[in-house]
Chains A and B, each alone.
Chain A
Amino acid sequence: MSSEQEAESIRCLVAKVGLDGHDRGAHVIARAFRDAGFEVIYSGLHKAPDEIVQAAVQEDVDVLGISILSGAHDTLVPKIMDGLEEYGAAEDTLVLAGGVIPEEDRDELREQGVAAIFGPGTSVEETIEFVRENAPQR
């Protein structure tokens, strides 16, 4: 009855992790997601993997978008994935990575559970479309 009146909103955490101070891209994505009708939680800069995991679990987000331009994705992303696993959240959270991630690193990230990687030049529409189609149905 009343459940039909409430449109379920896609919840996203846009996260900056590690010692990487470039958040322009994260801001653009956060804004674009908002305009697409998503609920966006922005982590702020310089977060540790633990903090990202805590936010993702407590906020019960459908989508976790990690923005990394520092090149530290090899160490930071696995820590986040392990943390999500620990709280039983890895399974039904759509994890995306964005930023500067070299082609040769991408397969490894995908193996760890990153659903998609959006490098420089990706249009926001493409990202939004991907989220709409792949956000977990709960």
Chain B
Amino acid sequence: MTMDADDRSLLEDLLAGEHRALARVISKIENRAPGYRDLVSELYAHTGNADVIGITGSPGAGKSTLVDKLAETYRDRGETVGVIAIDPSSPFTGGAVLGDRIRMASTVGDMDVFVRSMSARGTLGGLSTATADAVKAMDAFDKDKIIIETVGAGQNEIDIVRTADTVAVLVPPGSGDDIQTLKAGILEIADVFVVNKADRDGADRTVQELRDMVQLGDGSGHEGGGHHSQEIIDAHDDWDGEADDADETDAGWTPPIVETVAIHGTGVDEFIDELAAHRDYLVASGEHAEQVRTRYAEEIRTLLREDVHAMLETELEAAGGIDDLAEDVRQGETDPYSIATDVLEPVATCLENLETGPDGSGTE
């Protein structure tokens, strides 16, 4: 890969620990500025050391406050922290007010907590790529823990938090109905549940509802759960520590439920313990490797989609521009499917020629 001199020195500054350089690199990533791809691919060589934690939940659940306390506790333990806080942008003007930073008051003045606000700039799937790349930048900057925070409102957000190793979902008390609505979406991706504002009425009930749901999920998740229990009982007959460990690994991960009062810092230590436990589980079970593979596969797909998309835009221009084509459809002269086939045809022909070419030259 080739990089121009400016990007080269920017990369060197980032690796040397200059905050300004990290901030600038993330801007380049966000803006898809020229050369950002080369920059990111250079970053990869320096990554892989950070634990990436995703935190999501409904608006007002207390995400930013919890992230603040989390960062503070990690800092007390001598670890450096990066935070990427994502807020929605207006679909009309593209503008956004990014307000998560206000809640992160415990660590201000401590430059070893690097907080970066990002907004969804209206490109489908683009933000999860940008987030993943920003995580890489923070990882290369040598952050020990990287926290991604986003509102859990749909597929886009789910894609974002999935760039994390461990996902925590915040559920405020008294959201029984919310749990129902969230069931099919965001609750499925939780590795750890956090019932925040646990000092409020209804917290016990929310914990109970979550517990029921987690157990239900366990039963349906593993075919023949009854049989599995029998195996455990059998194993119990010749009990020894080692067999027990193996069983736990086999059983997979059951999301724990942690109660916190983020504003007072209550329960944050337990939360951190569960995050660490999940991390250990991922590594011990080999799931981590699988997870990382899946993530990279998705990243490659997204990048390819973007590239092909850009090529097709050029192709569209050559075919008369999207507006004229759309007008043709409106006039009833043609239909979207025919146009798609026509525009794609030269590309398809090219690929076919490559595949059917004589051996050896086929890959040229």
Chain A complexes with chain B: yes
Known contacts: A35-B93, A40-B95. The answer to whether A6 contacts B23 by CB under 8 A is: no
- Contact partner of A31 (CB less than 8 A), chosen from B97, B114, B306, B309, is B97
Question: Is the CB–CB distance between A1 and B307 below 8 Å?
Answer: yes
Question: Is the CB–CB distance between A37 and B19 below 8 Å?
Answer: no
Question: Is the CB–CB distance between B95 and A87 below 8 Å?
Answer: no
Which one, B28-36, B185-193, B237-245, B281-289, is touching chain A? B28-36
Which one, A57-65, A72-80, A104-112, is touching chain B? A57-65
Size band of the interface chain A makes with B: 35 or more
- Contact partner of A51 (CB less than 8 A), chosen from B20, B34, B108, B310, is B108
Q: Which residues of B contact A8 (CB under 8 A)?
A: 31, 33
Inter-chain CA distance A37–B121, complex, in Å, is 10
Known contacts: A2-B310, A6-B31, A6-B123. The answer to whether A60 contacts B26 by CB under 8 A is: yes
**A28-69: which have CB < 8 Å to B?**
30-31, 33-44, 47-48, 50-51, 54-55, 57-60
Question: Is the CB–CB distance between B98 and A41 below 8 Å?
Answer: yes
**Does residue B291 face the partner (Cβ distance < 8 Å to A)?**
no
Known contacts: A5-B123, A44-B102, A51-B109. The answer to whether A39 contacts B89 by CB under 8 A is: yes
**Does residue B116 face the partner (Cβ distance < 8 Å to A)?**
yes
Question: Is the CB–CB distance between B126 and A7 below 8 Å?
Answer: no
Inter-chain CA distance A9–B27, complex, in Å, is 10
Question: Is the CB–CB distance between B98 and A37 below 8 Å?
Answer: no
Q: Smallest CB-CB separation from A86: which chain B residue?
A: B20
**Does residue B99 face the partner (Cβ distance < 8 Å to A)?**
yes
Question: Is the CB–CB distance between A59 and B93 below 8 Å?
Answer: no
**Does residue A89 face the partner (Cβ distance < 8 Å to B)?**
yes
Question: Is the CB–CB distance between A5 and B310 below 8 Å?
Answer: yes
Question: Is the CB–CB distance between A58 and B109 below 8 Å?
Answer: no
Within the complex, the shortest CB–CB distance from B162 to chain A, in Å, comes to 22
**B289-315: which have CB < 8 Å to A?**
306-307, 309-311, 313
**Does residue A123 face the partner (Cβ distance < 8 Å to B)?**
no
Within the complex, the shortest CB–CB distance from A76 to chain B, in Å, comes to 15
Question: Is the CB–CB distance between A34 and B95 below 8 Å?
Answer: yes
Q: Which residues of A contact B24 (CB under 8 A)?
A: 60
Within the complex, the shortest CB–CB distance from B32 to chain A, in Å, comes to 4
Q: Which residues of B contact A3 (CB under 8 A)?
A: 31-34, 36
**B1-59: which have CB < 8 Å to A?**
19-20, 23-24, 26-27, 31-34, 36
Count of A-B contacts with CB under 8 A?
109
Q: Which residues of B contact A88 (CB under 8 A)?
A: 20
Q: Which residues of B contact A89 (CB under 8 A)?
A: 20
Within the complex, the shortest CB–CB distance from A38 to chain B, in Å, comes to 5
Q: Smallest CB-CB separation from A32: which chain B residue?
A: B95
**Does residue B207 face the partner (Cβ distance < 8 Å to A)?**
no
Contact with A along B99-143 (1 / 0, CB 8 A): 101100100110100111101010100100000000000000000
**B58-96: which have CB < 8 Å to A?**
89-90, 93-96
Within the complex, the shortest CB–CB distance from A16 to chain B, in Å, comes to 10
Known contacts: A5-B32, A51-B108. The answer to whether A34 contacts B310 by CB under 8 A is: no
Question: Is the CB–CB distance between B96 and A39 below 8 Å?
Answer: yes
Inter-chain CA distance A38–B119, complex, in Å, is 11
Within the complex, the shortest CB–CB distance from B267 to chain A, in Å, comes to 25
Inter-chain CA distance A37–B119, complex, in Å, is 12
**A72-101: which have CB < 8 Å to B?**
87-89
- Contact partner of B95 (CB less than 8 A), chosen from A38, A51, A59, is A38
Within the complex, the shortest CB–CB distance from B299 to chain A, in Å, comes to 14
Question: Is the CB–CB distance between A6 and B114 below 8 Å?
Answer: no
Interface residues of B (CB under 8 A from A): 19-20, 23-24, 26-27, 31-34, 36, 89-90, 93-99, 101-102, 105, 108-109, 111, 114-117, 119, 121, 123, 126, 306-307, 309-311, 313
Give me the 4 closest cross-chain CB pairs, A-B, nearest first: A44-B102, A60-B23, A34-B95, A1-B310
* Other contacts beyond A3-B36, A6-B121, A60-B24: 18, CB < 8 A: A2-B307, A3-B32, A3-B33, A34-B90, A36-B95, A39-B89, A40-B98, A47-B108, A48-B108, A48-B109, A50-B109, A55-B101, A58-B115, A59-B23, A59-B115, A59-B117, A60-B20, A87-B19
Interface residues of A (CB under 8 A from B): 1-3, 5-9, 11, 30-31, 33-44, 47-48, 50-51, 54-55, 57-60, 87-89, 138
- Can you report 21 A-B residue pairs in the complex whose CB atoms are below 8 A from each other? A2-B306, A2-B309, A3-B31, A6-B123, A7-B94, A8-B33, A9-B95, A33-B95, A34-B90, A34-B93, A36-B93, A38-B95, A42-B102, A48-B109, A50-B109, A51-B108, A54-B109, A58-B23, A60-B23, A87-B19, A138-B27
